Amino acid sequence: MIEGIPAPSAYLYNFMTKKRRNFDKKIAEDVLSKIKEGRLLDVGTGPGTIPIEIAKASPNLEVWGIDISKTMIKLARKNAEKAGVENVKFEVMSAYDLKFPKEYFDLIISVGALHHFSNPLRAFNEMYKVLKPGEEAWIYDFITDVSKQELREFLKSVNLPYFPWGIGFRLHGLKYKEWVGRISQAAKRSSFNEYALEKQGALMKLILKKN
């Protein structure tokens, strides 16, 4: 399993994310319904388009994005500079070794990265360590085996054409049985006190709660 997207693919991924702004806005709106100030961490940030969107909309929020890929972080920093956003920072870092103080963040998110994690339990426990008590981690990724109709409706809701995005979504994510199976088991075994799965069309949101 590739945990970090290699350099050539990173540039293509960066190009494609610029075409999906409505999807990024959908995630940003969901996140901003929960938090508008404090500290936010995005794990597996890629080229940083989602934390940049969040940071632009909420200048009182300190936003961090981390990724294991040096190329992705280089692209994320360039994207933030182009956007003129100053309240977002990007660092090369592994999801399995989050180098932040304990209980530092008010919310942790991860979008489209979970299917890259060979050890989700370890990643969840790292998130728990740097999350403040009483707060949550929100892990989003795609459900690769939803019906064609559900996928079409989801893509329509974020103004994306079925081709090529339908193919991309089928290839990047987890099957439903993985969500209710090994991912739920990892959440249950993790340090988090509670978890819940929230299906949003072709997207799944795993909510991890720290008491």
Single out the residue of 60, 206, 190, 35 nearest to residue 127, CA to CA.
190
Q: Which domain holds residue 177?
A: 7-209
pLDDT single digits (tens) 76-123: 999 999 999 999 999 999 999 999 999 999 999 999 999 999 999 999
Cα–Cα distances (Å) from 25 to 51, 141, 157, 178, in that order, read 10, 15, 12, 27
Single out the residue of 95, 142, 93 nearest to residue 121, CA to CA.
95
Q: What is the pTM of this model?
A: 0.92
Could you give the CA distance from residue 180 to residue 185 in angstroms, rounded to a whole number? 8
Cα–Cα distances (Å) from 87 to 17, 103, 162, in that order, read 21, 20, 34
* Structural domain total, the chain: 1
For residue 2, tell me if it sits in a domain.
no
Single out the residue of 210, 209, 3, 187 nearest to residue 93, CA to CA.
3
Residue 207: half-sphere exposure toward Cβ, Cα within 13 Å: 14
DSSP annotation of 179: I
pLDDT of residue 164: 86
For residue 191, tell me if it sits in a domain.
yes
For residue 1, tell me if it sits in a domain.
no
Q: Angle at CA 113, nearest 5°, toward 45 and 182?
A: 150
pLDDT single digits (tens) 135-157: 999 999 999 999 999 999 999 99
CATH of the domain at 78: 3.40.50.150
The sign one gets for the Cα dihedral 193, 42, 34, 158 is negative
For residue 82, tell me if it sits in a domain.
yes
pLDDT single digits (tens) 150-192: 999 999 999 998 988 898 889 899 999 999 999 999 999 999 9
For residue 58, tell me if it sits in a domain.
yes
